[in-house]
Homo-oligomer: A and B are copies of this chain.
Amino acid sequence: MAEHASINLTKNQALVFDALSKADGPLSAYTILDVLREHGFRAPLQVYRAIDKLQELGLVHRLETLNAFVACTHPNCETHETIAFMICDTCGRVDEISDSMLAERLETISGKSGFSLKASTVELRGSCGKCG
């Protein structure tokens, strides 16, 4: 899995990305560290440095309300795109959405105030369909 993107990744980056890809929910940096100890990880920086690169590549997203990270579910996610996350507080699943009308609305709101929008964070909390 995820071979299409991991080709250019270094060993550590690939390990972190695989850990996130295999997880069925967001992982904290320290959880990733624990998962990868058996692969030689010893320090948080090994995780954070890999995550930094993966975020630049758009392969990983940070969930601000959870202090955790998820592998991008879109094939090749653009960094500058407006993305919203729906986070189920019951089962922990995260759904990633790209909605153009939402993006437009955020631009409109910003524009009204003369605000030059560079990045947006949208995180929705609630219960997913299954957990209702």
A interface residues with partner B (beta carbon < 8 Å): 64-65, 84, 86, 88-89, 95, 97, 99, 101-102, 105-106, 109-110, 113-129, 132
Contact = CB atoms under 8 A, between A and B. Distances in A.
Contact of A121 (B65, B114, B115): B65
A124 B128 contact: no
How many copies make up the complex? 2
A116 B132 contact: yes
A97 B101 CA distance: 18
Nearest to A84: B109
25 contacts: A84-B106, A86-B109, A86-B113, A86-B115, A89-B118, A95-B113, A106-B122, A109-B124, A110-B124, A110-B126, A113-B128, A114-B128, A114-B132, A115-B124, A115-B126, A115-B129, A116-B127, A116-B132, A117-B125, A117-B126, A118-B127, A120-B122, A120-B124, A120-B125, A122-B122
